[in-house]
């Protein structure tokens, strides 16, 4: 006569596919409920002005994040979601004091600030993750700069100013 442990081990061995089916159905059912709870919690946090990842107040101009998680999100979009990269981006922001190096304009984190590659990734892909090739500039200026280097962009701006002054 088999004891309960032996019987259950044998039953599991003979019914692996059946168990997988039950487990999958159970996980699917409970995953949906868990995801619904998470979505509800994130919605409540958003309504209450709380970061979607922690209980810290979110940035005034961010829909979802506190400062820490804002930089983590930017680092992830950059392709390096490491804590070290997020911290380096935060340090760069604070070193710049939130001021655009082109316009001397005070930027608002999460509203009109954008991370720019000084030497564009399209021409220098090896510098994509190099913190020394990154700087915070205004979003509109970053769009205008496109894939130009800082020097190319400055030349273009000078040509534009000369044209405006000459044609008044």
Range of the domain at 33: 4-47
Residues 41, 118 within the same domain: no
Instruction: Examine residue 13 and state whether it is found in any structural domain, yes or no.
Output: yes
Per-residue pLDDT band for 1 (boundaries 50, 70, 90) equals: low
Q: What percent of the chain has pLDDT over 70?
A: 99
SS (H, E, C) 66-131: CHHHHHHHHHHHHCCCCHHHHHHHHHHHHHCCCECCCCCCECCCCCCEEEEECCCCCCCHHHCCCH
User: Over the stretch 61-80, which tens digit does the pLDDT of each residue have?
Assistant: 888 899 999 999 999 999 88
Please tell me the pTM assigned to this model: 0.72
Counting the structural domains of the chain, the total is: 2
Instruction: Examine residue 18 and state whether it is found in any structural domain, yes or no.
Output: yes
Instruction: Examine residue 38 and state whether it is found in any structural domain, yes or no.
Output: yes
Say what the pLDDT of residue 22 is: 76
Instruction: Examine residue 62 and state whether it is found in any structural domain, yes or no.
Output: no
Residues 131, 88 within the same domain: yes
Residues 160, 90 within the same domain: yes
Residues 30, 98 within the same domain: no
92-98: average pLDDT? 97
């Amino acid at each position: 006569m088999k004891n309960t442990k032996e019987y259950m081990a044998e039953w599991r061995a003979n019914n692996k596919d059946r168990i997988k089916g039950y487990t999958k159905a159970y996980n699917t059912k409970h995953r949906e409920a868990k995801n619904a709870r998470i979505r509800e919690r994130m919605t409540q946090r958003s309504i209450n002005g709380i970061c979607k990842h922690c209980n810290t107040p979110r940035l005034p101009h961010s829909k979802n994040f506190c400062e820490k998680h804002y930089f983590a999100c930017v680092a992830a979009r950059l392709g390096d979601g490491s804590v070290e990269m997020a911290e380096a981006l935060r340090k760069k922001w604070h070193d710049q004091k939130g001021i655009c190096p082109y316009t001397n304009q005070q930027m608002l984190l999460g509203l009109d600030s954008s991370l720019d590659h000084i030497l564009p990734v399209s021409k220098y892909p090896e510098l994509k993750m190099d913190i020394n090739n990154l700087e915070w500039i205004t979003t509109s200026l970053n769009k205008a700069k496109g894939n130009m280097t800082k020097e190319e962009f400055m030349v273009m701006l000078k040509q534009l100013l000369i044209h405006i002054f000459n044609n008044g």
